[in-house]
């Protein structure tokens, strides 16, 4: 078996294992972002939910997807290891896509539950394995996560274009069936390349627990994750239960982290404190950014015309793929910029990058607000060019925060709880998704009597409010940067 030192002593910008994980994650993100772009459109057009209910339902589903990454991270840390956790998650997602494809109108929520649990086992653990490809102070780590992030968005772009297009214009069963097909490709990619990971991601029980007992623990995790499907179904279909769950999971998570922190040194705990600052601010970031799958999907459906620079382009396809296309183009370049700046000792630290991400996000929402000035009041339709320009700006906001955040969780966390901390990073996304649904519902018009122009005014006024709040968040974070840098110690 290849050793950890052999993996980490790679030459050049990227280890070869990064490319294998890149491909595995790419297909999973095809499914995730393809589904995300379809959810509100499907619920409004096929399940006949009103816009407020669709926004709330979207927020609930996405919140549970990310909340279960915390549970998946803990199970990987304690029992399964990252490799088996990823394998099991992929199987559940394949099952979820196949179930919905049988009858989207009847089995939508059941299939979604399998996807929620499956993503929980899959998503945090592949990101943690990327972090373990590097030595602790390897300056190439951020560039590696930026490349990995472009792989995420390569899948997101393909899924964003194909799945919403197939669903809207051809067949909803086929669109959801693509989840099962593409996740099978992801699983095969991982199985064929996992030997190159050596000891990375193996079960923590290998050296501490008898083989039969370890296997029993594994099967208990598999069985429990299937037995909770009815519970998840109840919570997903009733957004009141979502509220109770979100009120409870955050405080319980912090209590559990507090217990874990008793096992570490004061220096390690300072770094964990810095990680918590990044996690808390990311809740606000994702609450705004994740309008993409909720209010912005409905805004594109009802208020954005289908012409871009004289060419016909479906607004929902644009909404679901523009961000990913820009990330593919600019993430590797930005990653190389970070490496070049690091060599010159001129790279901005992570706190500054986070603060700038909020300011860029504010600019993106000011741009979305500006769509009201190029709209036709008689139809409530606005230009797609300004809409896509907003996504261009939003992409750089994301690139200054999300891949850096993934990297930071692996830098600031002790090895024993890296799965837990990656899960907490995604749990913050769960809260962001939850709040995104509430914000989107607050922007939605009341009932079918409202005109399309009323919809436009409601949504653009909401985006103006989000723009101001994002800028305030950026200023606050930049003001806190000296304090957070001290907590981070030697991590930059």
| Residue-number span of the structural domain to which 302 is assigned | 8-488
Q: What is the CATH number of the domain that holds 400?
A: 1.20.1250.20
**pLDDT for the residue 368:** 94
Contacts of 250 (CB under 8 A, 6+ apart): 427, 431
Which uninterrupted H or E stretch holds 312?
strand 311-312
| Residue 257 covered by a domain | yes
Angle, CA 376 vertex, CA 374 and CA 377 arms, to 5°: 115
pLDDT at 491 over 80: no
pLDDT of residue 485: 80
Q: Rounded to the nearest 10 degrees, what angle do helices 266-289 and 402-412 cross at? A: 160
* pLDDT: which is higher, 86 or 488: 86
* Count: domains in the chain: 1
| 70-92 average pLDDT score | 86
> Band of the pLDDT at 248, cuts 50, 70, 90?
confident
User: Is the CB of residue 60 less than 8 Å from the CB of residue 185?
Assistant: no
Is 392's pLDDT higher than 90? yes
Q: Does some domain include residue 332?
A: yes
User: How much is the pLDDT for 33?
Assistant: 81
Q: Which of 75-79, 96-100, 280-284 has the highest mean pLDDT?
A: 96-100
Q: Does 420 reside within a domain? A: yes
Residue 1, domain member (yes or no):
no
Residue 323: the pLDDT is 86
Mean pLDDT, the chain, rounded, equals: 84
In 194-314, which ranges are continuous DSSP H helix?
211-227, 229-237, 239-261, 266-289, 295-303
Q: What percent of the chain has pLDDT over 70?
A: 97
Q: What is the pLDDT of residues 438-487, one digit of tens each?
A: 888 888 766 555 688 888 888 899 999 999 999 999 999 888 888 878 87
Q: Within 13 A of 252's CA, how many CA atoms are on the CB side? A: 10
User: pLDDT tens-digit profile of 152-177?
Assistant: 778 888 888 888 889 888 899 999 99
Residue 416 inside a domain? The answer is yes
In this prediction, residue 492 carries a pLDDT of: 65
Q: Is residue 231 part of a domain?
A: yes
Q: What's residue 489's pLDDT?
A: 67
Residue 62 domain-assigned?
A: yes
pTM attached to this predicted model: 0.76
**What is the rounded distance in angstroms from the CA atom of residue 486 to the CA atom of residue 258?**
20
Q: Is residue 156 part of a domain?
A: yes
Cα gap 235→60, rounded to integer Å = 9
Q: What is the mean pLDDT of residues 70-99?
A: 88
Across residues 386-399, what is the average pLDDT? 91
Q: How large is the average pLDDT for residues 278-288?
A: 89
Average pLDDT (76-81) is: 84
CB 160 within 8 A of CB 324: yes
- Give the pLDDT band of residue 103 (cuts 50, 70, 90): very high
CA dihedral 341, 347, 350, 356 (to 10 degrees): -100
Per-residue pLDDT reduced to its tens digit, 393-420: 999 898 888 777 777 777 787 777 776 7
- Rounded to an integer, the average pLDDT of 247-265 is 82
Query: How confident is the model over 288-304, as a mean pLDDT?
Result: 87
- Of 244, 283, 236, which Cα lies nearest the Cα of 116? 236
């Amino acid at each position: 078996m290849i050793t950890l030192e052999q993996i980490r002593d790679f030459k050049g910008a990227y280890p070869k294992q990064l490319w294998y994980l890149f491909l595995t994650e790419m297909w999973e993100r095809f499914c995730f972002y393809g589904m995300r772009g379809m959810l509100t459109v499907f619920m409004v057009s096929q399940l006949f939910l009103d816009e407020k209910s669709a926004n709330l339902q979207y927020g609930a589903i996405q919140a549970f997807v990310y909340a279960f990454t915390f549970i998946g991270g803990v199970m990987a840390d304690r029992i399964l290891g990252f490799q088996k956790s990823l394998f099991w998650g992929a199987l559940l997602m394949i099952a979820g896509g196949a179930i919905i494809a049988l009858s989207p109108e009847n089995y939508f929520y059941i299939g979604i539950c399998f996807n929620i649990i499956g993503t929980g086992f899959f998503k945090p653990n592949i990101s943690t394995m990327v972090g373990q490809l590097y030595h602790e102070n390897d300056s190439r780590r951020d560039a590696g996560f930026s490349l990995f992030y472009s792989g995420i968005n390569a899948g997101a772009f393909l899924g964003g274009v194909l799945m919403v297009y197939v669903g809207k214009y051809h067949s909803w069963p086929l669109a959801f069936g693509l989840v099962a097909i593409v996740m099978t490709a992801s699983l095969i990619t991982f199985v064929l390349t996992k030997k190159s990971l050596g000891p990375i991601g193996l079960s923590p029980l290998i050296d501490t627990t008898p083989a039969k007992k370890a296997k029993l623990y594994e099967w208990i995790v598999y069985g429990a994750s299937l037995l909770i499907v009815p519970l998840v179904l109840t919570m997903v279909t009733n957004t009141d239960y979502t509220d109770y769950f979100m009120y409870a999971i955050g405080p319980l998570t912090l209590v559990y982290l507090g217990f874990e922190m008793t096992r570490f040194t004061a220096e390690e705990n300072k770094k964990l404190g810095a990680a918590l600052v990044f996690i808390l601010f990311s809740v606000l970031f994702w609450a705004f950014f994740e309008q993409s799958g909720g209010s912005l999907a409905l805004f594109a459906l009802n208020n954005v015309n289908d012409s871009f620079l004289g060419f016909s382009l479906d607004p929902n396809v644009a909404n679901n793929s523009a961000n990913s296309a820009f990330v593919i183009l600019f993430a590797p370049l930005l990653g190389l910029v970070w490496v070049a700046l690091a060599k010159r000792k001129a790279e901005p630290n992570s706190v500054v990058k986070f603060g700038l991400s909020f300011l860029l996000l504010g600019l993106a929402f000011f741009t979305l607000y500006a769509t009201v000035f190029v709209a036709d009041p008689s139809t409530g339709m606005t230009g797609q060019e300004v809409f896509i320009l907003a996504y261009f700006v939003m992409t750089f906001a994301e690139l200054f925060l999300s891949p850096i955040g993934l990297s930071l969780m692996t830098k600031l966390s002790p090895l024993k709880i890296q799965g837990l901390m990656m899960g907490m990073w995604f749990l913050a996304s769960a809260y962001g998704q939850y709040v995104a649904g509430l914000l989107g519902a607050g922007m939605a018009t009341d009932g079918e009597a409202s005109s399309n122009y009323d919809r436009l005014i409601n949504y653009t006024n909401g985006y103006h409010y989000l723009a101001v709040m994002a800028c305030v968040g950026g200023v606050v974070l930049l003001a806190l940067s000296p304090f957070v840098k001290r907590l981070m110690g030697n991590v930059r």
